[in-house]
Amino acid sequence: MRPADAYDYLVETRGQLFNRVSRLSQRQYTREFPFARHSIRATLVHVLDSESWYARGPRAPGRS
């Protein structure tokens, strides 16, 4: 069981998620909900932002 396998699955499902999100109007994309990051846009950006931080942030010994 490798992290890359689990990540590949996430990327595949992300494609399906984006297909649905891409059909939303701007109003739907930014509509407020009383949970999570309050809008689909803000919640998706949070996922991207976190992934970006973890991918470049922590540095293991020997990893540049």
Site residues (vs other proteins, CB under 8 A) = 1-3, 5-6, 9, 34-36
The residue among 1 and 55 lying less far from other proteins, judged by its C-beta, is 1
- Minimum distance, C-beta of residue 6 to other proteins, in the bound complex (Å): 6
Q: Tell me the two tokens of residue 5.
A: 């396998």
23 to each of 18, 26, 46, 61, how far by Cα in Å? 9, 10, 20, 44
CB of 4 to other proteins, least distance (A): 10
Residues 29, 19: Cα–Cα separation, whole Å: 13
Shortest distance (Å) from residue 46 CB to other proteins: 11
